[in-house]
Structure 1
Amino acid sequence: MVRAVAAGAHILWRRLDRPGHDACRLWSEGALWRIEGMAVWADASGPAQIAYEVSASEDWVTRSARLMGRAGKRAVSLSIHRDDLGNWRVNGESVPEVTGLRDIDLGFTPATNTLPIRRMRAARQDGADLAGAWLDPDDWQLKPLPQHYERRGDNGWHYRSPSHDFTADLTIDGDGLVTDYPPLWIKEV
């Protein structure tokens, strides 16, 4: 398995749908991959700022995520864990609706698109129908989200979320981080 970005990759995204930014870092730590970042944006309920950390196994399957911050007047503090059997817990409470899913999808950042893209690249897959454990930023609950990824050249992936009637053509860099995600995000640095 390719172990790139051992020293870390950094990116700064700008939101295109509303005011906001997300600064993110990706690196390997032993047999784990780590993603951490800070997203700030104009939420419908007021200013939002969420710090996040995601840990994934060597084969890019989510192990855990932690989030801390505020979205408008709401405090957000979540500890999310996925065990080896695919069972998910949020702050210690079981979430059976997402049992068996491999990927966390933090709905407020493009950072977690890296997980399925890196896993498919490593397996030399040109696409897959997947479902992610989507953290809905409207109510901060984990929900199953059917998704489809299809490779488009060396640095492109077509993304489709049928339940939201949403599609996007993603551009990624050599580290698997999204650099262009119209109409939502674009890399600034």
Structure 2
Amino acid sequence: MNKCYRWRSEDGAGLEHLELQWRDDVIVAEGVVVGDEAFGCGYRICCDAGWRVRSVEVQVAGGASLVMTTDGDGAWRDSDGRKLRHLDGCIDLDISATPFTNTLPIRRLGDGLQERTELLMAWIKVPTLEVRRAPQAYTRLAPRRYRFEALDIGFEATLAVDEDGLVIDYPALFRRVRAP
């Protein structure tokens, strides 16, 4: 099954197109982002059937790229197979330029988000492709509504999502403009 989504940045200067594919044992997300800070990038995220990230590729227009793999339990490696110890324990992934990555912990944890849940993310800043650990928290407030907290910077937002856990509204940052 394939579905396409689009988000626009709240200021109207950025746009993202995402193709989400559900296959037998893998979920593949391929997105293209034209950012509001004069950058463009493409990404591909592969997850297992339980929404645990297994690989990520990010390519920034102009040539910079990043490839990482994970065992799905918090051990990450770079494209040369070297362990990325600074990401140990990071199960989920957050790419700064897209609201899609908020879907990953929402889908992976499902009903487990009834209470506030603190997580460690492998956070990728676009366009620099800096990668670091980022502590975050998610709390299900109501059906299809979650509180997102970026604990290291004191940011908080209430996210509205659809039945598939994809963001519809991310106040002050993104609003979905197309869905399947």
Identify whether the pair has TM-score above 0.5, normalized to the shorter chain. yes
Residue in 1 that maps onto 2:118: 129
Letter in 1 for 2:95: L
What 5-or-longer segments of structure 2 have no aligned partner?
none
Superposed counterparts of 1:37-76, under 5 Å: 37-43=31-37, 47-70=38-61, 75-76=63-64
Cα distance in 1 for residues equivalent to 2:85 and 2:78:
11
Q: In 1, are the aligned partners of 2:106 and 2:113 still within 8 Å (CA)?
A: no
TM score, norm. by length of structure 2: 0.90
- Distance between the aligned counterparts of 1:84 and 1:106, measured in 2? 17
Structure 1 SS opposite 2:36: strand
**Percent sequence identity over matched residues?**
28
* 1:78 aligned partner, one-letter code: L
Structure 2 CA distance for aligned equivalents of residues 34 and 185 of structure 1:
21
What is the rounded CA distance, in whole Å, between the counterparts of 1:174 and 1:85 in structure 2?
Answer: 26
Pairs aligned (count): 176
Amino acid aligned to 2:20:
L
- Structure 1: runs of 5+ lacking an equivalent: 1-6
Alignment partner for residue 9 of structure 2, among 15, 31, 45? 15
User: Which 4+ stretches in 1 moved above 4 angstroms?
Assistant: none
Q: Secondary structure at the match of 1:12?
A: strand
1:178 to 160, 167, 179: 167
Aligned residue for 1:114, secondary structure, equals helix
Distance 2:155 2:11 in 1: 14
Alpha-carbon distance change, 105 to 124 in structure 1, aligned in 2, over 3 angstroms:
same
Paired AA for residue 131 in structure 1: L
Structure 1 position 77 matched with structure 2 position 80: no
Q: Which amino acid is the alignment partner of residue 2 of structure 2?
A: G
Pairwise CA RMSD: 1.7
1:109 to 98, 102, 116: 98
